[in-house]
Amino acid sequence: MRITALAGGVGGARFLRGLIGHIGTRDDDAAQATITVIGNTADDITLFGLRVCPDLDTLMYTLGGGIHEEQGWGRADETFTVGDELRAYDVPPDWFTLGDRDFATHIVRTQLLRTGWPLSDITAALCERWQPGVHLLPMSDDPIETHVVIDDADGRRAVHFQEWWVRLHAEPEAKEFVFLGAAESTPAPGVLAAIESADLVLLPPSNPVVSIGAILSVPGVAAALQATSAPVVGVSPIVGGAAVRGMADACLRAVDVDTSAAAVAAHYGARRTGGLIDGWLVAEGDADLPAPAGVVQRARPLLMSDVESTRRLAGAALDLALELRAWTAATTA
């Protein structure tokens, strides 16, 4: 059984760790599932001349056992000597913290990029160390960067997503998100095939705009999600009108979507009517929210507060996808 997931950073990584853990407890076909993860690379940024891929690294470190658990990103047991030295040299920016262990990843990646390796091959090489238990693919080998149009005291201008998110704490209203480079990009090798040939497709509770939305901005990805015979099941990143993590509300406002599980489901839309999802998991308190016609909605505990609850959530998403798949098989038989 082939499971394919689209994922951003922290939320996606924790969900996927839960999925791997859950699969290990099953005794049906799903126990043997292979998982392909299509990671968002539009958060990527070049800092100090080094290419940093926050979401790919969060996925790799989380699934490979190197993550800083409390923080959700970056390495455990991290030190900050290189960054302190860069500050002593007065090298900007001073608002993005990279640890020493993390620096090594960016040094290796940049060295290989400079010698012509595509990001997908580099990611595979890095994963030889981390053994994340999934096949991790960047959404594209082409550089794509999310920039945010803001209008603050410095005037109307576009800043890199990381500057808006990390330095400006998503406080200046985002007028628009632009996925620079996306229109001319192509999906990384294996991305479209992973969607088209999947038995199940999952959308973890990642940011619908700057994570899942960025992946969908790569030409061909949305069409592949439309075309695949696999059911597509999403998990709401919104619980009771608030983002489970991060500042998704500030992103949703920019695309005129309310901060509610129902509004995000409507934003994704039902596959049957040209949208992206067949199934949708919402929190138990959101059970009465309307789902788009053609989307099967189920209410389950969505918090990923510990290993067990995260496994149960992933199991619920998997169960819904398996049910939808069985129904489709019965319908077309």
Residues lying near a second copy in the complex (CB under 8 A): 48-50, 79, 81-83, 85-86, 88-91, 100-101, 103-105, 107-108, 110-111, 114-115, 126, 128-129
**Count, residues in the chain:** 333
Closest contact distance (angstroms) between CB of 20 and a second copy is 22
Closest contact distance (angstroms) between CB of 127 and a second copy is 11
- Is there a contact between 135 and 121 (Cβ–Cβ < 8 Å)? no
Nearer residue to a second copy within complex by CB, 79 or 97: 79
**Distance (Å, whole) CA 278 – CA 272:** 8
**Alpha carbon distance, N-terminus to C-terminus of the chain:** 19
Nearer residue to a second copy within complex by CB, 86 or 299: 86
**Distance (Å, whole) CA 287 – CA 83:** 46
Nearer residue to a second copy within complex by CB, 37 or 60: 60
Q: Left if phi > 0, otherwise alpha if psi is -120 to 50, otherwise beta: which for 70?
A: alpha
Q: In 115-211, which ranges are continuous DSSP H helix?
A: 119-130, 161-162, 191-196
Nearer residue to a second copy within complex by CB, 79 or 305: 79
- Is there a contact between 137 and 110 (Cβ–Cβ < 8 Å)? no
Nearer residue to a second copy within complex by CB, 70 or 128: 128
Nearer residue to a second copy within complex by CB, 130 or 280: 130
Closest contact distance (angstroms) between CB of 264 and a second copy is 38
Closest contact distance (angstroms) between CB of 60 and a second copy is 11
In order of 16, 68, 272, 295, the CA distances from 276 in angstroms are 20, 33, 8, 10
Closest contact distance (angstroms) between CB of 32 and a second copy is 30
Closest contact distance (angstroms) between CB of 149 and a second copy is 26
CA angle 134, 136, 307 (to 5 degrees): 50
Contacts of residue 240, Cβ cutoff 8 Å, sequence gap at least 6: 283, 285, 286
